[in-house]
Structure 1
């Protein structure tokens, strides 16, 4: 088994987060996959961020005033078969994407059958490649006509949103997908305020309406697809996640089949760099991979026994350049998986992991942050060639053996007094024996 957690408690117990070469022929202990045969090894993407050729929407409008032009992103719209094959060749068994309302209903009450047929083809390719779809109903994008009517400040938006969502469920529930209702609700609201789509005074209204929409579509999904797995994924924000949960997660806690968690950056007294992610300079945020353990532990304690799924996790670079801290995508990926295995070994019900993202994409206003397993130079390469990073071979090896080897040692030692789940993560830390 992996090295167990060493616990140091200051005062009373508090119950409240690869440069190493991995031999390519090493197998997990006794040939048994460390994470189990039913573990979800996935990749994630957003259709707007990768698709291109996008109709009028709130984000095609926001992009007009952003640092980089949207252009047609990495053109997943026409290259999806190749991208899906790239995922399949790594051994991925779960493929997350969004089904975009703006494509399906470009004008009020006018449904674009060709857009549905496009998603029919994409999902058929995913299933034919041996992968299970994970479908996001709302990844921050809605039609331009919805924006013209006030977006989430409009009382009618819940009914409008549900009309679209039900059509998506009716069409694709037979594929037995995993479902994400809203991507990172907290970040969604922040982006709407940042770009002028929502007044600060309407923030509580948007949260309440998303909660109402989630509860309603959750019930509908389960009526159409018995046994469905539905979540709304949390954008884990170190030190303040309980406050963030109160805005949405806590309001829908009774209608979560699993807890979806997006984890990227840690924070500690010696490392305040996570703030760079808010400035779109993600690559300057120093990684603290053990933070993924603390995030899982936080939700394992909050929702005892409920399945936990890392819906997004990845490492950014600046336009593909080497990071100043020397961290590589392969090493970061192994480190994150190591801590997920530690969490599972310690009894947390972890069922899946998605790497964000399969390819580089439009990171909400800029192409500079590169998260992709395959890198794409959108602004300088008209061929949009997918070039593998070292993360591709690393992820293929991880999937083939069900995780990192028992003897693996993380490339970075845990931070002193992590604040990812303060005070618990500081007073009840993990160590590498």
Structure 2
């Protein structure tokens, strides 16, 4: 193997991820749609038609397969499947079954997320995740979607970034500098753990399904003397949720940047630091720290990078960022950590919880016509996926 080339194992999951609300469009029965259209909303713009992926999912799946990826992570929209409490839409279930079938026909492994931030309006009106019966309602939703998962879905993420969900909807779309996260509600955190475990119990009825949840890892880096401050700050925001995944089939790591902790807590990026369209520090090694923290705190649960990427209008920086991130992933694997895959965020330029401006996608989407155009980064990463080899180019770092 050439010195400037990294090799990944056969069977490694190479893919890209999306979520329903951010791509499907017209998710009118969800709490987020209501929030976007509420008087005085803080969202910059509504999701609207988003990427019209509810109708164009076949094109998205075919593009990913043609580019060279082998995995597609997408979410099932609870607000479509159970638009009113107790009513399950057979048509919505059939829609998502068709998505699973389309993945298989294209040669993609479907990875399904059950909850990606949005909930039905009726669930939100009852108190959302603060309601005492929320875990039972989520378990019932899991039961409702078993026919979708039984069609050959091997990987299931129960709850996306519960450490963000526990902050509450009022926090979820704030572009805080460098991922300075508000403190999660400890009661909601416990409720989400219970919901996750009840969902996994339901999923265990399906042979061959591997389930876990995905955590927003934040690469806390204490300055000398601030180690205890970093632990106090970081435990309820990340470590608690990673420890709760002990015994799961896998743990999803979702990493974008680092958080430097000083004597007064998290610090903003330095003035000279390169920043993304989200205002976050450009820091590709973050995913490596996330992988290591997840591996250590779960006691050796298999890791999948279920999200990693960069909001940028300069696609050459996306290639450079991803090269650095994959180098960190490979280093973790070389050190003996069981990493099963890497899924880029995002497959498409989509709705980033309040605005279409932060472009994370490998594939550009025309806001008027919905035409899809793969970027240079998509072709590059697809070739890495097909070959299982990453060539290190110093000029891209």
Q: TM-score, normalised by structure 1?
A: 0.78
Q: Distance in 1 between matches of 2:286 and 2:164?
A: 19
Which residue is 1:205 aligned to? 187
Larger-Rg structure: 1
2:23 aligned residue (50, 72, 80): 50
1:59 to partner: Cα distance: 0.7
Deviations 1:64-85 (A, max 9, x none): 2210122110100111111111
Deviations 1:362-417 (A, max 9, x none): 10111110000011242xxx201212222112112211220313x554743xxxxx
1:275–1:170 Cα change, 3 Å: farther
Which deviates the most, 80-89 or 106-115?
106-115
1:296 to partner: Cα distance: 1.7
The within-5 A match list for 1:58-77 is 58-64=31-37, 65=41, 66-77=43-54
1:292 to partner: Cα distance: 1.8
8 A contact 1:2–1:342 mirrored in 2: no
Q: Distance in 2 between matches of 1:167 and 1:269?
A: 43
Deviations 1:294-346 (A, max 9, x none): 222222333444211110001102xx3x38xxx52222222211221122122
Q: Which runs of 4+ in 1 moved over 6 A?
A: none
Q: Distance in 1 between matches of 2:65 and 2:72?
A: 9
Whether 1:365 aligns to 2:354 is yes
Work out the number of aligned pairs and report it: 367
Root-mean-square deviation over aligned CA pairs: 2.8
Whether 1:311 aligns to 2:311 is no
1:292–1:216 Cα change, 3 Å: same
Q: Distance in 1 between matches of 2:294 and 2:302?
A: 10
Q: TM-score, normalised by structure 2?
A: 0.84
Q: Distance in 2 between matches of 1:238 and 1:63?
A: 31
2:212 aligned residue (205, 211, 231): 231
1:178–1:281 Cα change, 3 Å: same
8 A contact 2:172–2:353 mirrored in 1: no
Whether 1:400 aligns to 2:386 is yes
1:191 to partner: Cα distance: 4.3
1:269 to partner: Cα distance: 8.6
Q: Distance in 2 between matches of 1:211 and 1:159?
A: 12
Q: Per the alignment, in what secondary structure is the counterpart of residue 391 of structure 1?
A: helix
1:346–1:60 Cα change, 3 Å: same
1:141 aligned residue (112, 118, 126): 118
Which residue is 1:222 aligned to? 204
Query: Which of the pair is proportionally richer in strand?
Result: 2
